[in-house]
Amino acid sequence: MNKLVECVPNISEGRDLDIINALAEVVQRVENVVLLDRHCDIDHHRSVFTIVGIPEAVQNAVYQLIRLAMKLIDLSKHEGVHPRVGAVDVVPFIPLRGVTMAECINLAQCLGKKIGTELATPVFLYAQASPLTPPRQLEAIRRGGLDGLSERMAGGGEWIPDFGPQKLHSTAGGVSVGARDFLIAYNVLLQTDNLSMAQAIAKSIRTSGGGLLSLKAMGVALPSRGLVQVTMNLTNYRETSLNDAYCAVQKEVERYGVGIEESELVGLAPQAAIPPEYIKTLKFRNWNPDQILETRLVQTGFR
C-alpha cells in the first residue's frame, strides 16, 4: 500500500450507538480501508471518523457510509450545538503517503459527482477542491444552517451545487466534499456556564477576529457538563500550535477570573503537532497515545 489517503467524514449523529456502529461497520467491510478512530460527542451530536487506505477504496467506503447515513439520519429531528447542513456534514480528503493534493481533489470531485447523481443530494466542493475563486469555505456553506443554505441555493449563482439537485434533501440536507491538508480539531472546556464569555473568547482568538493565524473558533454550551467550551479548528498547526491555542484561551479566561477545566483532541493528530511536553501542560482529558496518527498507522499495519 504505497499510496495512502486519509478521509475524516463528520457525521451528524453522536448519541445513537446503534447508528454509529452500523456506519462504522459499513466502512470496515471495505477491503484496503481501516477505520483508525471514531470520536462521538453527545452535545455536539456529532461523530468524527478517521479513515485511511488506498485512495479508491477510501472513496468507496465513504460513499457507502454516506448512502447508509442518509437512510438512518433525519436532520429534521436533529438537535446539537455544532453547525451542520448534512447527515454526513463534511467529507475532507487529505494526502497521507504517495498521494498528491491534485489526486485528493480528483477523489473529492469524483465522489461528489457520484453522490449528486446516484443519491440525488446536493454537493458543495470546498477548500482546495472548490472550482471557485476564491475557493468556497466550509463556514460559508454552514452559515445560517439548513435554512440559510437553502435560501442561498434558491438565489442561484455561486450557490448552485457543484453536483446534484438545486434543493436540499428533505432529511439528509447536503454534503460538503473537499480536499485539504491536516486540520486539528481541538476543544477547551471552561469552568463556567457563561456562553457569552465562551463566544467572546472565541471571537477574540480566531483569525477572523484579528487573533491567531490559521485558527477557527466558536463558543458552545455543553448541557451534559453544565459548562461551556471553546471549540477550535487549527488549519495549519505549524502557524498556530495547540499550545498557542490553549495559551490564547487561558489568557482570555484569566481576564474573566475563571479557569480551564480540561482540553480535548477530536480524532487524531500528527506526532509533530503534539510534542511530549504538551500532554501535561494542555490538561488533556483522558489522553491516549493512540490519538497520534503515526501510532495508529503502525498499529494497523500501515508502516
Tens-digit pLDDT profile for residues 144-186? 999 999 999 999 999 999 999 999 999 999 999 999 999 999 9
Per residue in 114-134, pLDDT tens?
Answer: 999 999 999 999 999 999 999
List % helix, strand, coil for the chain (3-state, nearest 5): 40, 25, 35
Helices (H), the chain: 17-28, 55-72, 101-118, 138-142, 145-154, 195-205, 242-256, 278-281, 293-299
Q: Are residues 248 and 146 in the same domain?
A: no
Per residue in 61-94, pLDDT tens?
Answer: 999 999 999 999 999 999 999 999 999 999 999 9
Q: Are residues 122 and 220 in the same domain?
A: no
In a domain, 58, yes or no: yes
Report the C-alpha gap between 289 and 133 in whole angstroms: 40
- CA nearest to 41, candidates 96, 89, 80, 87: 80
Report the C-alpha gap between 38 and 24 in whole angstroms: 8
| AA letter at 239 | E
- CA nearest to 273, candidates 253, 251, 295, 249: 295
In a domain, 303, yes or no: no
Q: How far is CA 16 from CA 56, 73, 91, 159, in A?
A: 29, 10, 21, 32
In a domain, 292, yes or no: no
- Full-model pTM: 0.96
Query: Which of 179, 205, 223 delimits the end of a domain?
Result: 179
Report the C-alpha gap between 263 and 245 in whole angstroms: 11
Q: Given this model, what pLDDT does residue 136 score?
A: 96
Domain that holds residue 31: 4-179
**In the chain, how many domains are there?**
2
Q: Given this model, what pLDDT does residue 11 score?
A: 98
- Is the per-residue pLDDT at 302 higher than 90? no
Residues in the chain: 303
Residue that is written with C-alpha cell 445513537 in the block: 16
Q: Given this model, what pLDDT does residue 285 score?
A: 83
The CATH number given to whatever domain includes residue 221 is 3.30.70.670
Cell of 37: 478512530
Phi then psi for residue 146, to 5 deg, are -60, -40
The answer to whether 62 touches 91, Cβ cutoff 8 Å, is: yes
pLDDT-based confidence at residue 280 (cuts at 50, 70, 90): confident
Q: Are residues 126 and 201 in the same domain?
A: no
**Helices then strands (H, E): number in the chain?**
9, 11
- Tell me whether the omega of the peptide bond preceding residue 165 falls within 30 degrees of 0, making it cis: no
In a domain, 241, yes or no: yes
The CATH number given to whatever domain includes residue 33 is 3.30.990.10
| AA letter at 77 | K
The rounded Cα 225 to chain-centroid distance in angstroms is: 22
Q: Are residues 192 and 109 in the same domain?
A: no
- Is the per-residue pLDDT at 101 higher than 70? yes
The answer to whether 143 touches 163, Cβ cutoff 8 Å, is: no
- Write the Ramachandran bin of 300: left for phi over 0, alpha for psi from -120 to 50, otherwise beta: alpha
- Is the per-residue pLDDT at 1 higher than 70? no
Report the C-alpha gap between 241 and 121 in whole angstroms: 36
The answer to whether 4 touches 302, Cβ cutoff 8 Å, is: yes
Per residue in 206-249, pLDDT tens?
Answer: 999 999 999 999 999 999 999 999 999 999 999 999 999 999 99
- Is the per-residue pLDDT at 303 higher than 70? no
Q: Are residues 45 and 171 in the same domain?
A: yes
In a domain, 257, yes or no: yes
Q: Are residues 138 and 198 in the same domain?
A: no
Cell of 179: 480536499
Query: Hey, which residues are catalytic here?
Result: 82
Residue that is written with C-alpha cell 494526502 in the block: 95
